[in-house]
Amino acid sequence: MSSSLAVPPLAVGASQAEDKPPKPPAPVVNFPNSPIPKNSLGEGRFIKTAAALIIGDEILNGNTLDRNSNYFARFCFENGIELQRIEVIADDELEILEASRRMVQKYDFVITSGGIGPTHDGKCINPCCDSRRSECLSFRDITYASLAKSFGQELKYHGETIARMEEASRHRTWITQQSEEQRTARKRMALFPEAGEVLFVASDIWVPVVRLEGKLCIFPGIPSLFQKLLDNLKPFLPLPTEDARPFRLQVFTPLPESSIAPFLTALQKRVKPENIRIGSYPLLQPGAHIALIGLDRERVKELGLEVEKELQGRILSAEETEAMIKAKRQ
């Protein structure tokens, strides 16, 4: 056969790619946010304590890395909330019931992450993709039902959420290809506990945050969506004032942890009545980071100078501290 007839495979692929019509641009949505409600904890009160309930077999079996609890921990610290508990549980109704009731009784602010969506196994029912893309929200639909039962409520479709869902996805061709069963499964993402507050916190996405008992906020498990909803929820929360938020100072010392332990033990005992916490985090090479946390910024800075002097250390700048935190997350 003449070599002139041979067509390299890559050339065929490129030609086919060129023949495909370009995808139409997604419509820009600009939904109105919900009005800011009254303080859910009562006038004059603010959130002091928090807990996170991470729901999903895929977290427990190692199939999915949980990033949401770490993001929530940083959110709480930056906003002056004391995060006291993080639990990871299976997609199990009884476990969700027990944990959610216990946490709502004990903490001011509780979040759940994961376990919401149209399918039973966390896979996308839409022909648009085979992964957990944010437009699909394909997580097990056990959370809403279990939390409704936990607080004695029925499930009810939320009309505004359905309308926003349809508006946000009307340009997608797979919508017209769905069967009635698939459309019904998709609508389950708007099947909420009937007495829950439905808070639309971001104008460019249709997904709301549903709040129960004035304390428990239900989030999807997709990290990008979780983070956006959490950040945009801030105006809807009775957060502590600036002067009630802790200050953290980091000191680096080249000394090994065994050498700094006696001094830090004595220091922590001395400053405990001042509600100042001291933590030591050793490095792989000789050295450690010392974290000092307290409400009195000037007192923490004063103690930082003492630690710097006694442990041959160096106070880290805000930029160095942020870089260190980012490195730990990688």
169 in helix, strand or coil? helix
Look at residue 168 and give its three-state secondary structure. Answer: helix
Question: What's the pLDDT tens digit per position in 228-265?
Answer: 999 999 999 999 998 888 999 999 999 999 999 999 99
Find tokens 């002139």 and name the residue. 4
The type of residue at 161 is T
- Which residues are within 8 A (CB) of 168 and not within 5 positions of it... i.e. 6 or more apart? 29, 135, 205, 206
> Within 10 A of 16 (CB to CB), how many other CB atoms are there?
9
Cα-to-chain-centroid distance, residue 104: 18
Mean pLDDT of successive 10-residue stretches along the chain, which has 330 residues: 44 49 68 95 94 96 95 95 97 96 98 76 39 39 91 96 89 69 80 97 96 97 96 97 90 94 96 95 89 95 97 91 70
From 169, 170, 182, 177, select the one nearest 135 (Cα to Cα): 169
**pTM (2 decimals)?**
0.79
In b/e form, how buried is each residue of 85-102, taking b as 16+ CB within 10 angstroms?
ebeebbbeeeebeebbee
- 3-class DSSP state of 252: strand
3-class SS shares of the chain: helix, strand, coil, % to 5: 40, 20, 40
CA dihedral 328, 227, 122, 190 (to 10 degrees): 170
